[in-house]
Amino acid sequence: MIKRALVIGGGIAGIQAALDIANSGYEVVVVERLPSIGGHMAQLSETFPTLDCSQCIMTPRTVEVGHHENIRLLTYSEVVEVSGSAGDYAVRIRRKPPYVNWDLCTGCGVCQEKCPWKAPADFDRGVGVRKAIYTLSPQAVPNKPVMNPEVCVRLKSLAAGEKPKCGLCEKVCPTKAIVFDQAESMVEEHVGAIVVTTGYDLYPAARLPEYGGGRVPDVIDALAFERILAASGPTGGKVKRPSDGKEPGQVVFVQCSGSRDPEHGMPYCSKICCMYSAKQAILYRHRVHHGQPYVFYIDVRAGGKGYEEFINRAQEDEGVVYLRGKVSKIFRDGDKVMVWGSDTLSGRKVEVAADLVVLSLAAIPSAGSSDMQKVLGLPGDDNGFYASVEGELEPMSTARPGMFVAGCASGPKDIPETVAQASGAAAKVLALFRTSGNRPGLREADLAGLPQPEVVAA
């Protein structure tokens, strides 16, 4: 039994699981695909139902992961191969080249300041722009930049075999950390247990052509609206719509955009939308006092501590208008976005001439989940999430011993439930480690000299 753990995915679930295991005295390797940890929680403005600043409550945890003596953090990396069995999994991890020597880089940020090339930032869901060399946010852990080879003019000129262009970052970097010819590398880790916390993504708006198909600029998804509301976001927390930067006076929130819709292949409830939309509507009202938010919903699902009260607050104290009915069509009409829906409580067809529409797109398994399931040898469920071995009593256990799943990787969850599962998965890992006699950190090679268990011939 190798008493080290691997955590795949550095969102709040991975962070919590890693800290719980690391603080119990065992080593943890955290692999994150993006340049820094924090996941979707790092994109949020405030959390429901307390309206805490998301970054503020998470930053102590991300920083702890970054500095923990028992945690080896591999960001901008992906698990590509897993072999072995519980107690000794061999894991191959591909490290993408950031084109920056992170050992030399001090995170001063001057390269990002001077870089002249910009592209839409996917961290900001396309609302904002970022430089060709970037960190995801000012609070990034690790606070080291990466270069986007599709945007960086120097890297593109090198890839095309042309005369090298630009190179401004290299000139201004005080520690000579820029490495344009950096190649990807592979590392191998041996662990006894694996926690999968690969999270979720949003259903692509392009697959909802009846809602504009992602082609109407003022129809955005809820994560984009989080970035607009976030004080550290692309608009500095000012509510501006993407098309013309104007403050929207009428905002429509559309629940179940793809969720609870077998026609689109997602029969399940995404679980978090009712609450975050109420939160977003409230935050919008706090920023735009004369603004009118509308929420189209099928029914409001507010099961959770303080959740029902929060919805009541939105409806009764904050002036959010709730319309019970599905939206049938969203289209651009001049500088307005027309929303056609129904109000099934009054039995009438409703048309809202909105300035901004926020879609609560279905939460789906994060990109690459089905590939990762193949790498891990774990089955997916009907909707592509990780299948638990027994949903009710063993929600964090998978079909393979020593592999556990937590958070949205196994289905949509809010932050408290995600964190609870992450701690639960960590406890499962610790129990596995404690029931085996070997000392922490021992590898198979280290076991060679120790007494071996007797093998009884069949």
Partner 1 sequence: MGTPYFPGCTLSTKAKNFDQSGRAVSEALGLPLVELTDWQCCGATFPLATDNSMALIGPTRILIQAEQQGDRVATLCAICYNVLKRTAVALREHPEQQERINWFVSTDATTAGLNYQGKVKVVHLLEMLRDDLGWEALTQRIASVNGANKVRGLKIAPYYGCLLLRPPNEMMLDDPEAPTLMSDFLRALGAEPVEFAFQSECCGSYLAASKPDVSQGLSATILQQAARAGAQALVTACPLCQYNLDKRAGSERAGARLPVLYFTQLLAVALGLPQAAWALDGHYIKPDSLFS
Interface residues toward partner 1, by CB under 8 A: 209-210, 213, 329, 331-334
Listing from the earlier edge strand, what are the strands of the sheet with 185-191?
Answer: 77-85, 88-95, 185-191
CA–CA distances in Å: residue 76 to residues 12, 37, 65, 150: 17, 9, 15, 16
Asked whether the beta carbons of 43 and 449 are under 8 A apart, the reply is no
We find the least distance from the C-beta atom of residue 208 to partner 1, in angstroms, to be 8
Pick between residue 278 and residue 354 the one whose CB is nearest to partner 1. 354
Pick between residue 210 and residue 244 the one whose CB is nearest to partner 1. 210
Pick between residue 174 and residue 209 the one whose CB is nearest to partner 1. 209
- Which secondary-structure segment (H or E) carries 284? helix 273-287
We find the least distance from the C-beta atom of residue 331 to partner 1, in angstroms, to be 3
> What is the three-state SS of 2-21?
CCEEEEECCCHHHHHHHHHH
We find the least distance from the C-beta atom of residue 350 to partner 1, in angstroms, to be 16
Pick between residue 238 and residue 336 the one whose CB is nearest to partner 1. 336
We find the least distance from the C-beta atom of residue 214 to partner 1, in angstroms, to be 10
Pick between residue 102 and residue 331 the one whose CB is nearest to partner 1. 331
| Residue 155 neighbours by CB distance under 10 Å | 23
We find the least distance from the C-beta atom of residue 363 to partner 1, in angstroms, to be 22
We find the least distance from the C-beta atom of residue 206 to partner 1, in angstroms, to be 9
CA–CA distances in Å: residue 423 to residues 197, 379, 416: 12, 22, 11
Pick between residue 9 and residue 214 the one whose CB is nearest to partner 1. 214
- Which secondary-structure segment (H or E) carries 146? strand 146-147
Pick between residue 2 and residue 339 the one whose CB is nearest to partner 1. 339
We find the least distance from the C-beta atom of residue 349 to partner 1, in angstroms, to be 12
We find the least distance from the C-beta atom of residue 355 to partner 1, in angstroms, to be 17
What are the residues whose beta carbons fall under 8 Å from the beta carbon of 315, sequence distance 6 or more?
322
Q: Is 175 helix (H, G, I), strand (E, B) or coil?
A: coil
> Distance (Å, rounded) from C-alpha 149 to C-alpha 335?
36
Angle at 161 between CA 155 and CA 165, to 5 degrees: 45
Pick between residue 264 and residue 287 the one whose CB is nearest to partner 1. 264
Q: Is 245 helix (H, G, I), strand (E, B) or coil?
A: coil
CA–CA distances in Å: residue 205 to residues 125, 208, 209: 12, 5, 8
> Distance (Å, rounded) from C-alpha 66 to C-alpha 68?
6
We find the least distance from the C-beta atom of residue 252 to partner 1, in angstroms, to be 16
> Distance (Å, rounded) from C-alpha 60 to C-alpha 15?
11
Pick between residue 206 and residue 431 the one whose CB is nearest to partner 1. 206
